[in-house]
Amino acid sequence: MTLDALYARALCAFTKALTGARILWQGCAPAAGPRVYYANHNSHGDFALLWACLPDDLRERTRPVAGADYWRKGRLRTYVAERVIRAVLIDRDPKTRTEDPIAQMAAVVEQGDSLIVFPEGTRNTTDETLLPFKSGIYHLANACRDLEFVPVWIENARRVMPKGRLLPVPLLCTLTVGAPLKLAPDEPKDAFVERTRNALLALMPPAA
Amino acid sequence: MTPQQQTYSLFVGVGLILVVASIVGYVLKHSVAKDQPHATIDNLNTRIKAWWVMVLVISLAFLFGKTGVILLFLFISFAALREFMTLTYTRSADYLALTAAFFVVLPAQYALVWFGWYGLYAIFIPVYVFLILPILEVAGGDTKRFLERTAKMQWGLMISVFCISHVPALLTLNIPGYDDRNLLLIAFLVIVVQSSDVLQYVWGKLFGKHKLAPEVSPSKTVEGLAGGVLCATALGASLWWITPFNFWQAALMSLAITGMGFFGGLVLSAIKRDRGVKDWGNLIEGHGGMLDRLDSVVFAAPIFFHLTRYWFAT
């Protein structure tokens, strides 16, 4: 095992030990990719949680999609993003962009790897349960026809790691995986974006 | 017998009971369930398996003596507090109080137990934390459901940290004529409480007819309670030789332990009902979360500690 892989294992072990995270494969069984896992985004812990909860063999071939503006700041962040979690770093600003994010993601999928994306585009720090989705999820589906989109609801991550805080609060997190969706032929952009968003919302546990 | 021999014979005894339980579980699965899926029997076997793991972990902790036991219960408190806080309503303004609870109060309480500073660990959470936590909450500047939030956090700390820490605190008691044997006092408490739970479950399953508190805990029956408490008390009395008590004292102590344990189960069930969940968590397969397994220990430990301290310790 390489040192990078060892760090990755350590990161996953720490995340799981802290949050007692468990994943419920409600709508489908774990299966080899390529797949796109899309989830609600409340905290930096989200991708670590989802990534850690995947079975080892699937995780090795699953790459989180993250904002380059955040992850290229500083050497440690760059190292973690590029070598440890092997993130697909995209430039979120269309003005400074040199590479097309959809093409970057599609290239990964064509190699047979899976992706983790957060279609809200940014961390949700509002009182809304789920922000409106950006249209990127549609463009990716349109570029890679037949690609499976798997909704994953992450419960409690915001309480574990509120925005701007460094020390995580140890609370139990549960991830619920729904049934995979595919872009239907001739499905309009708005309909697909809405359908994927509703599928994710449907996984939210009832408020106690 | 030396204390070590007593500890060994105790663990061998518990091991034998588990062997018998495993055989019974296997036979039931084979003869009653015909090797087909069967909810009650499968759950029984999962529980027995989890018991093996729990006994193994406790034995390991005992091997390392005071350090092992304090670390074990520190971890148990951590898991319990995490379950409690997960089910508790908090707001982002509670961040400071929450992190303080996990990273300051929890280790501090166990450090005080480690140093045997009774005068402080007995009042640290009920007095100091009780007053300082709401100050931290006020600093968050959010008054929405303020009393509820502070009260629940204090409750969680009392249950998960303060009460549970009274199990390892038994090691700090100085009992004349019982030198170096305090680990056995922990074994006594844990065996009596847990056997009472198991015996109530068995008696309830076999003879249970009259529901005791259908609104709170539908599985508890009068027959289960009576049979379980009587048998566990008899078991506790028969273990008087590992304790500083005589036979009758051990019986009365066991009665107090099982009684408090029973009510602990009821109270924590009521909280679960209120929150609309069946289990506190999923840490222990077949049993639910840490608090599902420890609800009775939580209520029994401080009372057993103080009864023993008042009448037997110097």
pLDDT at residue B268, rounded to an integer: 95
Residue in chain B nearest A158 by alpha carbon:
B92
The runs of H, that is alpha helices, within A21-152 are: 45-53, 56-59, 68-71, 75-79, 101-110, 136-143
pLDDT at res. B119:
96
B95–A169: do the CB atoms touch at under 8 Å?
yes
Q: What is the pLDDT of residues A134-143, one digit of tens each?
A: 999 999 999 9
Spell out which residues of chain B touch residue A23, defining contact as CB-CB under 8 Å. Answer: none
Query: By the CB < 8 Å criterion, does B275 face chain A?
Result: yes
Q: What is the mean pLDDT of residues B208-214?
A: 90
- Encoded tokens for A157: 């991550």
Per-residue confidence (pLDDT) for residue B6, from 0 to 100: 87
Domain boundaries, chain B: 1-63, 69-172, 175-314
Among partner residues B98, B275, B282, which is closest to A22 by beta-carbon distance?
Answer: B282
| Residue owning tokens 């793991």 | B53
Nearest-CA residue of chain B relative to A17?
B79
**ipTM for the complex shown:** 0.85
Give the model's confidence band at B123: pLDDT under 50 very low, under 70 low, under 90 confident, else very high: very high
Please state which of the ranges A121-135, A174-188, B14-28, B149-163 shows the lowest mean pLDDT: A121-135
Say yes or no for a CB contact (<8 Å) between B95 and A170.
no
pLDDT band at A178 (very low <50, low <70, confident <90, very high): very high
Q: Is B78 on the interface with A (CB under 8 A)?
A: yes
- Beta carbons of B102 and A22 less than 8 Å apart: no
Sheet holding A174-177, edge to edge: A22-25, A174-177, A148-155, A35-39, A114-117, A62-67, A88-90
Query: Among residues of chain B, what percentage have pLDDT more than 70?
Result: 100
Please say if the pLDDT value at position A88 is more than 90: yes
Q: What is the mean pLDDT of chain B?
A: 94
From the list B87, B277, B281, which residue is nearest A20 (CB)? B281
The predicted model scores a pTM of 0.92
Which pLDDT tens digit goes with each residue over B181-205? 999 999 999 999 999 999 999 999 8
Question: Do A208 and B283 lie within an 8 Å CB cutoff?
Answer: no
Q: Which residue in B83, B95, B276 is closest to A172 by CB distance?
A: B83
Domains delineated in chain A:
3-201 (3.40.1130.10)
The 10s digit of each residue's pLDDT in A139-167 is 999 999 889 999 999 998 888 988 788 89
Q: What is the pLDDT of residues B62-97, one digit of tens each?
A: 999 999 999 999 999 999 999 999 999 988 889 999
Interface test with B, best of A42, A171, A173, A176 (most B CBs within 10 A): A171
Determine, for residues B102 and A156 on separate chains, whether the beta-carbon distance falls below 8 Å: no
Instruction: Say what the pLDDT of residue B270 is.
Output: 94
With bands split at pLDDT 50, 70 and 90, how would you rate the model's confidence at A207? Answer: low
Structure confidence by residue, pLDDT tens digits, A40-75: 998 888 988 999 999 989 999 999 999 888 888 889
Q: Which residues of B touch A20 (CB under 8 A)?
A: 79, 82, 281-283
Task: Tell me: pLDDT of A208 over 80.
Answer: no
Q: Which pLDDT value is given to residue A137?
A: 94
Residue of A nearest to B98 (CA): A169
Average the pLDDT over B41-45 and give the result: 90
Give residue A161's pLDDT.
86
| A contact test, residue of B86, B96, B290 with most A CBs within 10 A | B86
Indicate the residue of B78, B277, B283 with minimum beta-carbon distance to A208. B277
Residue A97: the pLDDT is 85
Res B130: pLDDT: 97
- For residue B106, the chain A residues in CB contact (below 8 A) are none
Interface of A with B in 114-173 (CB under 8 A): 156, 159, 162, 165, 167, 169-172
pLDDT at B213 over 70: yes
Using the structure block, give the residue that is written with the tokens 């359908």.
A195
Q: Does the structure show a pLDDT above 70 at B147?
A: yes
Number of Cα atoms under 13 Å in the Cβ half of residue B183: 23
Neighbours of B205 (CB within 10 A): 14
Residue A1 pLDDT greater than 80, yes or no: no
Q: Is the pLDDT of residue A100 over 80?
A: yes
Query: Which residue of chain A comes nearest to B86, CA vs CA?
Result: A171
Distance CA A30, CA A115 (A): 14
B196 CB burial (10 A radius; 0-12, 13-18, 19+): buried
Task: Count CB-CB contacts under 10 A for residue B9.
Answer: 13
